[in-house]
Amino acid sequence: MNEEIRVLEPKNIWNKFADLNAVPRPSKHEERVIEFMMDFGKALGLETFEDAVGNVIIKKPATVGMEDRKTVILQSHLDMVHQKNADTDFDFKTQGIEMYVDGDWVKAKGTTLGADNGLGVATIMALLESKDIPLPPLEALFTIDEETGMTGAEGLKGGLLQGDILLNLDTEDDDEIDIGCAGGVDVTAKGIYREVPVNEEYTAFKIEVKGLSGGHSGMDIHLGLGNANKIMNTLLMLGQERLGLRVTKIDGGGLRNAIPRESTALVAMKSLDSNEFDALFKDWANSLKKEFAATEPNLKMVYEPASLPKMAMESKDQLALSEAIRNAHNGVYAMSKSMKDLVETSNNIARVEVGEGQIKIACLTRSSVEAGKMELAKKLQDNFEKSGYEVTLSGDYPGWDPNPDSAILKLLQAKYIELFNERPKVVACHAGLECGILGKNYPEVDMISFGPTIKGAHSPDERASISSLQKFWMFILEILRETPKI
């Protein structure tokens, strides 16, 4: 299936991407891809090593005539978001990604594609392997765990790299040059609840919310997309208020940096009330579909009979849970006052797990302003603590402050105009790039981020533009050819 990918242009990148996507590499499980990259660098006869936390660094000397140029660090992350459709049978820990071509797009069958950030990795591999491209001295930095904590960037020690310029290849619109990003913090609430017996007077149902678009919880947070955890909570609150519906289990969302697409709940209600449930559920579902008609045309809310559970959540604890989720901010919290159309602060209610007396709610709060990030995180903490939950803030990472006077920015702007006869958009993004963290130990390095067009990142709808990668390849070759002299 992936053979049709290998004949696309530029072949050197698509072949490396196909090789990479044959290696399982979900976040937190990068052992195989680390070994893959180590073998790749050593096979080229290049200086190759793994640092203390698992990042892989490969160094390539300048080609003839380019020895007087500044050293360039090329940086991308090895891990990928592991999301799949509910009806897709796939194990990210053991299987390679199954790809196919659809017009100008490369897609995956029912899973994330891994173009974020696999195309950046494959581009760097193609440059390291090349024998006929004029290149300055290169230091390739392949970080781990970018998607679930940025622990690779956090753990990179100073002194391992000597480069003057860092090109981060993790931006997803080919007409943008990124000079800043948001920081983030995980807000996690945990609690317990009382259970009461469910007797034979009750009937059980499984409720599903599905068909949502999902997407990147930073880059797509402003699009008004549905959050499966919020929608499910609305259904459960209405069911409790009207019919005394009782929750036994909730399994909603997935990764912290993905807008949740699906949620499932196991519920019970008195059999007498269950006769009324069908009509009410349809009314609630139709109302929610109208609310999200413009952004979520494929939203589905369905239910089916289920085996009767032995226990369910006590009524007051269930109400406290519903109110905690209802009152927790989700989506855009504030827009930037300094950059037009940039989301400044947001939150994603990413995961809701309820069962066997335990509750866990996981959020990712982002902001390009440190004070804004902590303000929203504290509001979320206060909200969850009102329901009696224990709240922890973890995984805090800094944003990347824009430098509009960057020398490498000026080079990229000039080359973009020269090649494509238009000005690029110079932006900051509402996503977590590793540049802010890397800058802590490498403060003198001039950093920039750019990349080919990728849509639907962090969801099974992820797709990479074939023509955009060709444009990107032309662009990066010209940048490296014109790297400033020492």
14 phi/psi in degrees, rounded to 5: -65, -35
User: Is 9:470 a contact under the CB 8 Å cutoff?
Assistant: yes
- List 30, 139, 145, 146, catalytic entry: 146
**What stretch of H or E contains 47?**
strand 47-50
Question: Cα 175 to the chain's mean position, in Å?
Answer: 21
Asked if residue 181 lies in contact with residue 432, where contact means CB atoms within 8 angstroms, the answer is yes
Instruction: Give the residue among 277, 258, 237, 276 at the shortest CA–CA distance from 456.
Output: 258
Burial of 286 (0-12, 13-18, 19+ CB in 10 A): exposed
CA atoms within 13 A on the CB side of 423: 4
Rounded Cα gap, residues 97 and 83, in angstroms: 11
454: amino acid identity, one letter: I
Contact 216, 258 (CB under 8 A): yes
89 is catalytic: no
30, 79, 164, 170: the catalytic one is 79
- The rounded distance, in Å, linking the Cα atoms of 3 and 99 is 9
Tell me the C-alpha to C-alpha distance, in Å, between residue 101 and each of 18, 25, 156, 159.
13, 22, 37, 42
Quote the tokens at residue 429.
């993004």
Active-site residue flag, 220: no
Query: In 3-state terms, what secondary structure has residue 348?
Result: strand
What does the alpha-carbon distance between residue 433 and residue 143 come to, in Å, rounded to a whole number?
12
Using DSSP's 3-state secondary structure scheme, residue 61 falls into coil
Active-site residue set? 79, 146
